Structure 1
Amino acid sequence: MDYQAYGNDYTIKPLVTELKNPVKNILLVGNSFMYFNCGVNPMLVGIAASKGIKLVLTLVGISGSSLYWHDVKSYLRPNGLRSYAFSSDGKNTLQFINYPNGKIFDAVVLEDSSQGPIHPELNKLFAQSVARHGADVRATGAEPMLMMTWAYKGRPEMTRQLADAITKEANKNRMPVAPCGLAFARALREMPQLELIRTDNRHPTVAGTYLEACVFFASLLKQTPEGAGFFGKYDDMSVDPETGAGLQRAAWETVCDFNGW
């Protein structure tokens, strides 16, 4: 397996290793790497709920997008996203939500395109977007975090390239990083029989999305996902408990190693 040599391959360490404050309402901004397999958000909510933690997730995804495409500031406006919800008691009652001081989200996870941070023509736009979106997120009282994406299948060298490029911009802007790419490399090294990436060589399988959710859980909450009893919501969108336990462990060990916890 050609991922083995790159299991923990990065040279730039994060300067900010955790969020300052507890989080409940979280916004995910990205593309299909976040919304494949019915989305990483219900996976993350389910993992948290199984450990007695209530998270509220909102996902804004644009197919094929980079952060340059997103107008994150507009997502954070009052009376926009998360301005109302329907009850889950079967009555479908509409409830409008008021937020103190207009703050809707506690944290915003930002994901660029899978090549953007290392593309010779797009990397400058990536850097500009991280700085702009980070400032807009902080202006609302929320905290920004960058998502580190994974290498394409058959392109293991991308693990290190993406890790260093994304961590570099995170350090410039004083943001923590969710090291999904490093977790993919570790899991593929430890469980080489597992398919984390689809036959298009880029997008996650259900197991890949589950691992992504475990990394988000660990990075956002500074808690281990190990022991979570949730492995997916639907029959074709779940992993078996043994695989899930291995992915939980890989996520936690990766996040701890990367952040020096």
Structure 2
Amino acid sequence: MQQQRQRFALLTLLMIIILGSADLLAAPKQDRDTKHDPQTETIHVLWVGNSYSFAGPLPNVVQTLMTEGKTKYRMEFGKSFMGGKGYKYHVEDGKAMKKIAEGWKDEDGNSGAWDYVVLQNKSWGPVSQQDEMREYGKILADAAQAVGAEPIYYCTWAKRHHPEQAQTIFDVYQELADTNGGKVAPAGQAWKLVYETADKHGIELYRFDRSHPSSWGVYLNACVFYATLTGESPVGLKLRKVSPWKTTERYTKAHLKNRPGLKLTEKDLYNGERTLSKKEINLLQKAAWKAVQSQQKLSESEKKREAETVAP
């Protein structure tokens, strides 16, 4: 009788162990605590720009994409934004320059220099204020490099009604990178790729003002920065919910005053989060990766040309 009890107890214990193991195996995978995960590498990025940068907000969307676990990188960031302003403002105002020099500091008391400083000029700067952009872009780039950070020039897009300006915008940002060092995040080139096939998908990257990004535009920009910062493809990322640049009643009224024939619907004015379809995110991811790959090849060609120039 005693042996039967012992056998029964042993069998019961084995069943508990087996069932417990099955539960562990069947349990859903938990999100990694990337902040304290030794397998991740943190990059610290300061974003300097205006509404084209805080739409989304863009840094938050990029940060979310990185935490999906597809890359070893995660991003912590700071920001210096002012609507409608560009390089000159950020230099003369002083706040961005101070943040560049001071570096980052986290909630645990750790601190250090930025790894990257994203530099976004006002949208019309590359078209109508090129000399100013060159002058103040150099000041910002020099400040970043002085603390060991690499400048990333946020190449924006042409206005919806001036697509012919896209190449000029890219050329000026590329000139800054070639002259001052750093690299270009080719958001504008990705937008151009999407609109080259607009008749096949109907994705609208702009808000009603033909300037600021919709949720789709924000997502595309985020994929460009994901690829630029990690060097990896964004194709396959899962995030689908994104917010657009948020308009205000004052801005909308001012815009309608300048375009009296424009009729806006509730859909046009909707500022909330939108869920992009799997087909849409796949198309945007591929466009972003294609633009960044082209940019990488351009940078490699430039480095090779410079090496050949200085070779004895």
Classify the TM-score, shorter chain.
Answer: 0.7 to 0.9
Contact 2:45–2:77, Cα closer than 8 Å, also in 1: yes
> For residue 44 of structure 2, what is the aligned residue in structure 1?
25
Structure whose residues are more often helix by fraction: 2
1:1-261 alignment to 2 at 5 Å?
Answer: 24-37=43-56, 39-50=57-68, 51-52=70-71, 53-70=73-90, 71=94, 72-78=96-102, 82-85=104-107, 95=108, 97-99=109-111, 102-103=112-113, 105-119=114-128, 122-192=129-199, 193-232=202-241, 236-260=273-297
CA distance in 2, matches of 1:83, 1:54: 16
CA apart distance, 1:35? 1.0
- Choose 189-198 or 205-214, whichever is displaced more: 189-198
CA apart distance, 1:237? 4.1
CA distance in 1, matches of 2:60, 2:278: 17
Note the alpha carbon deviations across 1:175-229, whole angstroms, 9 max, x for none.
Answer: 2100110100101223440100111010000110010010111112111111111
Note the alpha carbon deviations across 1:145-190, whole angstroms, 9 max, x for none.
Answer: 1011101002111111101111112211122100110100101223
CA distance in 1, matches of 2:110, 2:176: 34
CA distance in 2, matches of 1:198, 1:233: 14
Which one has more relative contact order, counting CA pairs under 8 Å at least 6 apart? 1
Normalised to the residue count of structure 1, the TM-score between the two structures is 0.79
Q: Write the letter of the residue equivalent to 1:75.
A: K
CA distance in 2, matches of 1:155, 1:233: 26
CA distance in 1, matches of 2:42, 2:177: 19
Question: What runs of 5+ residues in structure 1 fail to find an aligned partner?
Answer: 1-21, 86-94
> For residue 5 of structure 1, what is the aligned residue in structure 2?
none
The number of residue pairs the alignment matches comes to 222
CA apart distance, 1:76? 2.1
- Choose 65-74 or 145-154, whichever is displaced more: 65-74
Q: Write the letter of the residue equivalent to 2:58.
A: V
CA distance in 2, matches of 1:35, 1:117: 20
Determine helix, strand or coil for the equivalent of 1:64.
coil
Q: Write the letter of the residue equivalent to 1:250.
A: A
RMSD of aligned alpha carbons: 1.9
CA apart distance, 1:98? 2.5
CA distance in 2, matches of 1:212, 1:60: 18
Cα 1:189–1:23 shift into 2, 3 Å: farther
> For residue 11 of structure 1, what is the aligned residue in structure 2?
none
CA apart distance, 1:58? 2.4
Q: Percent identity?
A: 26
Contact 2:42–2:76, Cα closer than 8 Å, also in 1: no
Cα 1:140–1:178 shift into 2, 3 Å: same
Contact 2:120–2:153, Cα closer than 8 Å, also in 1: yes
CA distance in 2, matches of 1:178, 1:48: 16
CA distance in 1, matches of 2:50, 2:190: 19
Normalised to the residue count of structure 2, the TM-score between the two structures is 0.67
- Choose 207-216 or 163-172, whichever is displaced more: 163-172
Contact 2:46–2:79, Cα closer than 8 Å, also in 1: yes
